[in-house]
A and B are shown apart, each in its own frame.
Chain A
Amino acid sequence: MIETVNWIESPGQQKRIIIFADHFNDGRIFSLGRQLRIDGYPGDLIAAGDFLPDQLDSLALCGFSHYLPLPDGTDRIDHIDGIDLANLVALPRQREPGSLFSRHDHPEVTT
């Protein structure tokens, strides 16, 4: 199951969005993140769930700014209030999803 929560800590603060994924294998989260960025969402975007370290690059490439590790079975609601971004895993900011194709700007034939 995927659940998206719009989250505003206090009036005037920039909106933050957190997307919970019940299972690390639920790939919808990658498209949801990407779609939000295509739609022009500029703010913090948090992926919450029990992801593998191997998946964090893909989350970053799909537009997520932070990762909130949640072991399976953790009550999500408890984690919305009082989240301090400083305590989350910061993901490197990416320009665009980096398929190999878009990284072929200066190809050279190997010899």
Chain B
Amino acid sequence: MYQYSRTDQQQVDQRVIQFRDQTDRYLKGDLSEEQFRPLRLMNGLYIQRYAPMLRIAIPYGELNSGQLRMLAAVARKYDRGYGHITTRQNIQFNWLKLEQVPDLLADLATVQMHAIQTSGNCIRNITSDHLAGIDATEVEDPRPWCEIIRQWATLHPEFLYLPRKFKIAVTGSETDRAAILAHDIGLRLVRNDRRETGFQVFAGGGLGRTPVVGKQLREFLPWRHLLSFLEAVLRVYNLNGRRDNKYKARIKILVNSMGVEAFRSAVNERFQEIKDGELTLTDSRVAEIKARFASPQSRAIPATRKIHDGNSGHVRAREFEHWKRQNTIASRYAGLRSVFISLKKQNVAPGDLTADEMDAIAGLADRYSSGIIRTTHRQNLLLPLVHTGNLYSLWNDLRKSGQSDTNIDTVQDIICCPGLDFCSLANTTSIPVALEIRARFTDPQELKSLGDIQIKISGCMNACGHHHIGHIGILGVDKKGQQWFQITLGGRADQNLRIGERLGPAVDRNRIAEAVERIIRQYLKLRSGPGETFLDTLDRVGLEPFREVVYD
């Protein structure tokens, strides 16, 4: 995990002082609401339906046990005892008091955390693959590159007042778990014919009201020019992006209106002006950043217990094997596996966890994974490297604390926005819909048989629940004060990212969970065999057989 430099710490400390001053000026009336708005937003503070909401950055989804304990303390001291992991790997607290936020940020700064640029029209927290540095197939660990981009983007004086928010995601693997094609800029680490490292660069992807798949700007960008090229893209966007209509202000609209060729040409013109300038990365600079990431393998904790203890019964062993198959994954290091901790519990909003759970997981991270925890795009947690000899002991500990839900990459692993329960923009609820769907699929054997059917739910057109790229996407819409839900099928968030197709008219609130169940049961009837996935079946038979069961 990245270790802060003195400069990093100073900047976070100074930001706390600055935000305290800004908040004081607002509360005294020296700053208007309009003036304070961009200042608080670029520090992650929203005014939500019931109270201010603060989004705290977890850069590229990695945090240590001390930071998780601090988040637990924040949840107890300033909020209502729980937090919410977002689809961009951050954490949100929903019940804060504005006047307490500077103190909260000061507490966070003591553990190298902050809320800088987690909202607002600026470059947001950089996201990445939750298996970064672990996946055996990746070209290179993307985390140091994420950190380099983070340092460049943090309080960048030119790009704090962009036309709209700007999201960057990086992956080092061919298997895209960071949805890079749904980002304003998506970066994939690649090697060229001469085995040199560089980036495949995509731009203009995004979800929201107008879902667009990112377009390739560069097939191979040498790593030395990463920041210069990003700066060129941002400059073209900042100067030319629309500012008259917030729904037309994202870079995807600019790329589409200019045409990708013209956009690429404009970027290249700016790039040539600054290429080989002060933003050019050097071997030594990159080596410095990489050196701040401790080798994950060297820190893995060796096994201390046998895989099965003497008292484990047959049923229990079977449960453990099921959990191990479903919730753990092999790493690039022999004898070490990555362990998912599901945040998809019955009757709990997807991504929510309590302060007590945070403390418990921090303890498990210390005991089993060198104190490191990751947050995932699908709103779960991950202990990156656990010795296989410790898995049984870890599973037992998770069972005792009620955190062994065996539903990773199943139909229960639903992504969902906060919806009307918290968000002032939402048209409909989304959390209760997720809970109702989940309650219809609880049999472990059935979950296993269904495979990874990704359901994603958004309570409004802003698409925070990524419904466009769900295998089954659900969008809440308001019709004359009533909640209705549009269904899309066939979206996907991976390297073959595509936007789902609308199934038909919206269904009403009382029927949405049933409609989803019917779609899934129809898949079971239609599939050619257990090996054919939901998407494969859909691609083979088309939408019609699913329409028939929803609109009978």
Interface residues in chain A, defined as those with a beta carbon under 8 Å from any beta carbon in chain B: 24-28, 30-32, 34-35, 38-39, 52, 54, 57-59, 61-62, 96-104, 107-110
> A47–B278 Cα gap in the complex (Å)?
25
Contact among A28, A61, A100 for B151, CB-based, below 8 A: A100
Stretch touching chain A among B6-14, B54-62, B455-463 = B6-14
Report A-chain residues with C-beta under 8 Å of the C-beta of B18: 54
Mark contacts of B155-185 with chain A using CB atoms, 8 A cut-off: 1 yes-contact digit, 0 otherwise.
1111111110000000000000000000000
Closest B residue by C-beta to A104:
B7
Q: Is the CB of B157 within 8 A of A32?
A: no
With contact pairs A26-B243, A27-B159, A27-B238 given, residues A96 and B278 touching in the complex (Cβ less than 8 Å)? yes
Closest B residue by C-beta to A60:
B157
Contact among A26, A28, A58, A109 for B157, CB-based, below 8 A: A58
With contact pairs A31-B239, A109-B3, A110-B3 given, residues A25 and B38 touching in the complex (Cβ less than 8 Å)? yes
> A97–B157 Cα gap in the complex (Å)?
7
With contact pairs A26-B161, A31-B158 given, residues A101 and B11 touching in the complex (Cβ less than 8 Å)? no
How many cross-chain pairs have Cβ atoms below 8 Å apart between A and B?
A: 98
Report A-chain residues with C-beta under 8 Å of the C-beta of B161: 25-27, 30
Q: Is the CB of B235 within 8 A of A34?
A: yes
Q: Is the CB of B157 within 8 A of A101?
A: no
> A100–B38 Cα gap in the complex (Å)?
21
> A102–B6 Cα gap in the complex (Å)?
14
Q: Which of B18, B31, B156 neighbours the largest number of chain A CB atoms within 10 Å of its CB?
A: B156
Closest B residue by C-beta to A111:
B3
Whole-angstrom distance between the Cβ of B281 and the nearest chain A Cβ: 9
Q: Is the CB of A58 within 8 A of B158?
A: yes
Q: Is the CB of B5 within 8 A of A99?
A: no
Report A-chain residues with C-beta under 8 Å of the C-beta of B239: 28, 31-32, 35
> A25–B238 Cα gap in the complex (Å)?
12
Report A-chain residues with C-beta under 8 Å of the C-beta of B162: 27
> A96–B309 Cα gap in the complex (Å)?
62
Q: Is the CB of A101 within 8 A of B151?
A: yes
Known: A39-B273, A110-B6. 6 other contacts (CB 8 A): A28-B238, A34-B158, A59-B157, A96-B278, A102-B278, A110-B5
Report B-chain residues with C-beta under 8 Å of the C-beta of A27: 121, 158-163, 238
> A102–B285 Cα gap in the complex (Å)?
10
Q: Is the CB of A100 within 8 A of B152?
A: yes
Whole-angstrom distance between the Cβ of A4 and the nearest chain B Cβ: 12
Would you list 29 pairs from A and B whose C-beta atoms are within 8 A, ordered by A residue? A24-B35, A26-B243, A27-B121, A28-B243, A30-B161, A31-B158, A34-B235, A39-B273, A58-B157, A59-B157, A62-B157, A62-B158, A99-B151, A99-B156, A100-B7, A100-B8, A100-B11, A100-B151, A100-B152, A100-B155, A101-B148, A101-B152, A101-B279, A104-B151, A107-B6, A107-B7, A109-B5, A109-B292, A110-B6
Query: B274 contacts the other chain (Cβ, under 8 Å)?
Result: yes
> A5–B3 Cα gap in the complex (Å)?
47
Q: Is the CB of B160 within 8 A of A58?
A: yes
Q: Is the CB of A57 within 8 A of B157?
A: yes
Q: B residues 309-352 with Cβ under 8 Å of A?
A: none
Closest A residue by C-beta to B161:
A27
Q: B residues 224-280 with Cβ under 8 Å of A?
A: 227, 235, 238-239, 243, 273-274, 278-279
Q: B residues 110-127 with Cβ under 8 Å of A?
A: 121
Question: 5 tightest A-B contacts by CB?
Answer: A27-B161, A58-B157, A61-B157, A107-B5, A101-B151
Contact residues on B (Cβ < 8 Å of other chain), bracket: 35 or more
Query: B22 contacts the other chain (Cβ, under 8 Å)?
Result: yes
Whole-angstrom distance between the Cβ of A52 and the nearest chain B Cβ: 6
Whole-angstrom distance between the Cβ of A8 and the nearest chain B Cβ: 25
Query: B516 contacts the other chain (Cβ, under 8 Å)?
Result: no
Q: Is the CB of B5 within 8 A of A30?
A: no
Whole-angstrom distance between the Cβ of B5 and the nearest chain A Cβ: 4
Report A-chain residues with C-beta under 8 Å of the C-beta of B85: none
Report B-chain residues with C-beta under 8 Å of the C-beta of A38: 273-274
Whole-angstrom distance between the Cβ of B146 and the nearest chain A Cβ: 13
With contact pairs A61-B157, A110-B6 given, residues A30 and B238 touching in the complex (Cβ less than 8 Å)? yes
> A27–B278 Cα gap in the complex (Å)?
23
Report A-chain residues with C-beta under 8 Å of the C-beta of B278: 96, 102
Q: Is the CB of A99 within 8 A of B238?
A: no
> A39–B3 Cα gap in the complex (Å)?
37
Q: Is the CB of B148 within 8 A of A108?
A: no
Whole-angstrom distance between the Cβ of A72 and the nearest chain B Cβ: 11
Report B-chain residues with C-beta under 8 Å of the C-beta of A99: 151-157
> A20–B157 Cα gap in the complex (Å)?
18
> A104–B144 Cα gap in the complex (Å)?
14
> A57–B163 Cα gap in the complex (Å)?
20
> A12–B145 Cα gap in the complex (Å)?
49
Query: B50 contacts the other chain (Cβ, under 8 Å)?
Result: no
Q: Is the CB of A104 within 8 A of B5?
A: yes
Report A-chain residues with C-beta under 8 Å of the C-beta of B155: 99-100
Q: Is the CB of B279 within 8 A of A107?
A: no
> A88–B238 Cα gap in the complex (Å)?
27
Whole-angstrom distance between the Cβ of B29 and the nearest chain A Cβ: 15
> A80–B238 Cα gap in the complex (Å)?
26
Q: Is the CB of B158 within 8 A of A30?
A: yes
Report B-chain residues with C-beta under 8 Å of the C-beta of A96: 278
Q: Is the CB of B7 within 8 A of A97?
A: no
> A104–B8 Cα gap in the complex (Å)?
9
Report B-chain residues with C-beta under 8 Å of the C-beta of A98: 157
Report A-chain residues with C-beta under 8 Å of the C-beta of B158: 27, 30-31, 34, 58, 61-62, 97
